[in-house]
Chains A and B, each alone.
Chain A
Amino acid sequence: MIHSTKKTSIVAIGIIAAILIIFFISLNTGTIPIGPADVLKTLFGTGDGSYDVILFDFRLPRMIIALLIGIGMGIAGAILQGVSQNGLADPGILGINAGAGFAVVLYIFFLQDQLAGSGNLQVFIMPIFAFAGAFLAAGLVYTLAWKKGVTPVRLILVGIGINAAFGGLIIVFQLMMEPKDFTQATVWLNGSIWQTSWNYVLALLPWILLLVPFAMYKAKALNVLTLGDQLATGVGAPVQKERTLLLLTAVGLAGACVSVGGAITFLGLVAPHLARRIVGPNHKHQLPICALIGALIMLVADTLSRTLLAPSEIPIGLVVSAIGAPYFIYLLIKE
C-alpha cells in the first residue's frame, strides 16, 4: 500500500510538471505566436498591454476550460467504467453525449435564428440546452434500466438503445438543416471549445470543485462496487444507493463538461484505462491520476487543435481521438 501511494505521488508530480510545461508552451503558440518573455511580462502585468487581449480573453480561458474538461471527463469515465464493470463504457454510454447533442441540434434547428441578437444571454442558451439534454438522457437511461435496482448489464444495454435512438434523431434533423447550421452542428458534435470565455470557466468550475472531491471521497465505495453486486452486497455495501450517488456524480461532471465543450467522448474512455495501467485498479490512486491524465490530454489536444491547421482550427474532440487512440493502441499491443 505504502509503495503504491508513493508511486501515485511520483506519477502525479510527473504529470503536473508536464502540464505546467505544456501550459506555458501553449500560451506561446497559436495563430499569433507570442514570445516566452512577452508571455511572462503580460501574465505579471508588466507588459506593454499589446498581448493582453489574446492571452487573457482568448488563450487562458480556453486552456483552463480544457484542463477542467479533462479533469471532469476523466473522473466521469473512471466512475462509469467502475460502476458498469465494463472497460468499453464511457460517459457516452449513459446517453450524455447523444442527449446533449440532440438538444443542441434541436436548438440550432428551431430556436437559434429566433434568438439571434438577444446578446449576452445567447452565449449561455446552447450550453444550458446541452446540459438539460445530457441530464434528460441520463435520467431516461437510468429510469428505463431501473427494475428493483439497476444492474450494470441492464444499464449498458439500455444505454446502447437510448444512444441509438438519439443518434438517429440527430441525423434526421441534421440532414434537414441549412448548410451553415449543419456545419455548426457538426463542429459541436465533434467537440469544440472555440467560443470559450471566462463566463464558461465560471459556469464549469463549481461542478468540478464540488464533484471531483466527492468522487475521490467515494473511491472506496467505487472499489467495492467493482467487485460485482454479490460480493459488494456481501461485504455490507448499500449497493444501489452508492451506485446511484456515483452515477449522479458522473452525470453531473460529464454533463457540465459536454455542455461547454461539446462531445469529447474518447477522453472518458481512454483516461481511466491509462490511469489503471499506470497505478492499478484501486480507485483511491486511479481517480486522481485519471483526472491529471485527462487534463494533460486535453491541454495537448487544445494546443494542437490551434496550431496544426492554423489559422483554421480542428475540433478538439477530433484531436483527442487522434492522439489518444494511437497511445491506447500501443498499450494494447505492449501489454
Chain B
Amino acid sequence: MQARRLIGTIILIAGTLLLIFSIGLSIIFGVSDISLGTVWNSIFHYDTTNTSHQIIQRLRLPRAVAAVLIGAMLAASGAIMQGMTRNPLASPQIMGVTSGATFMIAIALVFLPDLSNVNLLLFAFAGAGLGLGLVFGVGLLARTGLTPVKLALAGTAITALLGSFSNALAIHFDVARDLSFWYAGGVANVQWDTVKLLFPAAVIGMILALFISGSVTTLSLGEDVATGLGLKTGAVKVAGVLVVLILTGAAVSVGGTIGFVGLVIPHITRFIVGPDYRWIIPCSAILGGILLNFADILSRMVNPPFETPVGALTALIGVPFFIYLARREGKNI
C-alpha cells in the first residue's frame, strides 16, 4: 500500500512536470516552428505586432490547453465509469454521452447548417445530456434497479439506437463527411472562447470527481459490499453520472470523439497505482492530459501540413501499451 502511494505521488508530480513540458513542446512544433525564447516572450512580454507571438497566443496556446483539459476530463470520467460499473468495457461512450452528442450534431448539420461554433458546442452538450439521461432513465425504470451490468447494457442499446439515427440522417442528407470530421475530433481549431467554456467544466468536474473518489472505491468492491459498509450507493451513482456528464459532455462537445483515452488510461493507471480510486482518478487525469497533448503534437507531424485525426493517434499510441498490460496482468482487472 505504502509503495503504491509513493508511485501515485511520483506520477502526480512527475506527470505535472511532463504536462507542462508537453504544453511547451506543443507550442514550439507546428507548421512554422518557434523557438523557446519566443514562447517565453510571447507569454510575458506579449507584442501584438509580432506574428509568432500572435500564433502562440491565438492558436497554439489555447490548442495545447484544450488538449490537456480534454485528455484529463475523458480519462477521469472513464475511471469513474469503470469504478462504478465494475466492467472493463465501460467507458464514457457506453453511457450514451458520445452517441448523444453525435446525434445532436447530426441534427444540427442537417436542419441548422448555419449554426455558429459555440452554438454547435451547446448542441453537442445537450446531446451528451440526452444520451446519458436516456441510459440512466432506462436503468432507473428497470424493475431490479440500477445494477452495473444493466446500466452498461442500457448504454450499449442507446448507443446503437442513437448511432443508427445519426448515421441514417447523415447518409440520407449527405452530411456523413461533415459528421465524420466532427466525430474524428481534434483540438486544431480551438480558440480561447471555447477554452473559456471548457475550463469551468473541467474544474468543477474534477473537484466533484475527487470528492466522490473514495465512495467510488467502495462501490468498486461491489454493490452488496458497499451497501454493507454503509454507503448510500444510489446517491453515489447519481453524483457519479453527473460528474461524467459534466466532464465527458464538455470534452466531447469541444474535441469530438477521442474514445481511447477514457477507456485505456484508467486501465493503465489502475495497473500502476492499484485499486484505490482516490489515486486512480487524479493520476488518470494527469496521464490522460499527457497522452492527448502528445497525440495532438504528433497529429501535426505525421503528415504535414495536414492534420491526422487525433482520436486515431491516441488509439494507435495507447493500444500497444494496453495490450502489453492486458497480457501481463490480465486477471487483476
Contacts and interface: CB of A to CB of B under 8 A. Distances in A.
A168 to B, nearest CB: 3
Interface in A136-168: 144-145, 147, 151, 153-154, 156-158, 160-162, 164-165, 167-168
A17 interface: no
B160 A145 contact: no
Contacts of B319: 161-162, 164-165
B6 interface: no
A62 B149 CA distance: 36
B323 A161 contact: yes
B318 A329 contact: no
Contacts, number: 154
Interface in A180-212: 182-183, 186-187, 190
A288 interface: no
The secondary structure that dominates the A interface is helix
A318 interface: yes
A315 interface: yes
B172 A158 contact: no
Contacts of B326: 145, 154, 157-158, 161
A238 B218 CA distance: 38
B224 to A, nearest CB: 20
B260 A325 contact: no
B150 A160 contact: no
Nearest to A192: B171
A309 B144 CA distance: 38
Interface string B77-121: 000000000011100000000000000000000000000000000
Contacts of A312: 172
Given A88-B87, A172-B308, A182-B176, A154 B327 contact: yes
B89 A328 contact: no
A156 B88 contact: yes
B263 A325 contact: no
Contacts of A309: 172
A247 interface: no
Interface string B285-316: 00000000000000000000000110111111
Contacts of B164: 317-322, 325
13 contacts: A86-B89, A153-B333, A154-B331, A158-B326, A158-B327, A164-B318, A165-B316, A190-B171, A312-B172, A329-B154, A332-B154, A334-B143, A335-B144
A-B pairs, top 7 by smallest CB distance, nearest first, are: A168-B312, A168-B315, A321-B164, A325-B161, A157-B326, A154-B330, A318-B164
